[in-house]
């Protein structure tokens, strides 16, 4: 029943079959690693930077109408630095395994690629204004990863979490503190780029802020709550309600959301059948697809089925 389902267990998003619980996350991780290997193969064996020239985002590529680079740049990484892809993969893994079950696989994919697109647009706009990137190319999944991190911070601003500083030192932080740190550091980096100074340490702060902006927009249109980002102790994580915007819902999902279901709570079998239907809906469309009545049914079922 309820706790037999992997996404209803307390350890969901932890150890287990990540491929079935996080289908989009798994594909993104595999794609990033595969492309990185291909980059190395083409450079080492064929002595050509074909992947970078063809799939990175740049003014030169756009002048050749390579519009696919708005998305494909997010799968490329600097082959001269292992840390570039390592940090992105770790961030994508740890944040993605939490968010995908919450928002649903389809919404997770939309969020990620929307952030990649927004990151590219802001980077290009910054380059056009400052002239800093007219002969540069953009690569990396950082815009998508930062968008997921920011979305998590917006969802659970006061949930205490442990972060391994330098992969060694455990530090307890609230997500809203991480959010403010990101906004300040990336904002300073953007000002440097706009002043014509280029990027600091090769970091495209403008692309990062594009991902952050995407996270704010997506949070605004999908979440029905107003979290606090101050330094108080109030928490909104128990009041978060995720619901895809109308333009993101297909007709089938809309019909499911609008369906009114009456349950015979006096019958154990009827309750079990209804709970199974609701859990299947969660597995397919995410928690945000549930109606208020369906959420109340799950709450009643926990006590009813223990009798």
Task: Indicate if the pLDDT at residue 255 is higher than 60.
Answer: no
pLDDT at 79: 83
Q: Which has the closest alpha carbon to 78: 27, 36, 28, 134? A: 36
**What are the extents of the domains in the chain?**
10-239, 249-304
Distance (Å, whole) CA 300 – CA 294: 10
- With contact defined as beta carbons under 8 Å apart, do 69 and 57 qualify? yes
Task: Indicate if the pLDDT at residue 117 is higher than 90.
Answer: yes
pLDDT at 20: 57
pLDDT at 301: 74
**DSSP string of 92-116?**
HHHHHHHHHHHH-HHHHHHHHHHHH
In this structure, of 5-14, 21-30, 72-81, the range with the lowest mean pLDDT score is: 5-14
pTM: 0.68
Exposed/middle/buried for 184, CB within 10 Å: 0-12, 13-18, 19+?
exposed
**What does the chain come to in residues?**
307
Tokens of 184: 């300040």
Task: Indicate if the pLDDT at residue 134 is higher than 80.
Answer: no
For the segment(s) 10-239, the CATH number from 3.40.950.10, 1.20.1540.10, 1.20.120.530, 3.40.50.1100 is 1.20.1540.10
Task: Quick: pLDDT tens for 283-307.
Answer: 777 776 777 777 777 777 766 655 5
pLDDT: which is higher, 75 or 279: 75
Task: Quick: pLDDT tens for 151-191.
Answer: 999 988 888 877 766 656 777 788 888 889 888 988 888 88
In this structure, of 39-43, 208-212, 259-263, the range with the lowest mean pLDDT score is: 259-263
């Amino acid at each position: 029943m309820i706790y037999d389902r992997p996404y209803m267990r307390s350890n969901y998003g932890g150890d287990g079959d990540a491929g079935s619980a996080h289908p989009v996350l798994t594909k993104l991780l595999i794609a990033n690693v595969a492309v990185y290997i291909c980059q190395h193969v083409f450079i080492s064996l064929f002595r050509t930077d074909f992947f970078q020239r063809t799939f990175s985002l740049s003014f030169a590529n756009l002048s050749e109408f390579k519009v696919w680079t708005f998305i494909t740049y997010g799968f490329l990484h600097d082959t001269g630095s292992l840390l570039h892809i390592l940090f992105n993969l770790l961030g994508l893994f740890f944040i993605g395994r939490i968010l995908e079950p919450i928002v649903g696989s389809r919404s997770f994919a939309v969020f990620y690629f929307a952030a990649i697109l927004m990151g590219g647009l802001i980077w290009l706009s910054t380059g056009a204004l400052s002239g800093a990137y007219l002969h540069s190319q953009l690569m990396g999944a950082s815009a998508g990863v930062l968008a997921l991190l920011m979305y998590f911070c917006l969802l659970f601003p006061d949930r205490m979490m442990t972060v391994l500083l330098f992969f060694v030192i455990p530090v307890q932080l609230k997500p809203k503190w991480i959010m403010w740190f990101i906004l300040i550091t990336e904002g300073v980096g953007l000002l440097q780029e706009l002043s014509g100074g280029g990027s600091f340490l090769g970091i495209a702060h403008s692309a990062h802020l594009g991902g952050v902006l995407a996270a704010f927009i997506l949070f605004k249109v999908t979440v029905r709550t107003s979290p606090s980002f101050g330094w108080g102790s109030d928490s909104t994580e128990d009041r978060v309600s995720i619901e895809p915007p109308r333009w993101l819902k297909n007709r089938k999902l809309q019909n499911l959301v609008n369906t009114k279901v009456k349950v015979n709570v006096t019958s154990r079998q009827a309750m079990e059948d209804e709970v199974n239907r609701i859990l299947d809906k969660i597995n397919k469309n995410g928690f945000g697809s549930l109606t208020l009545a369906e959420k109340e049914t799950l709450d009643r079922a926990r006590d009813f089925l223990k009798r």
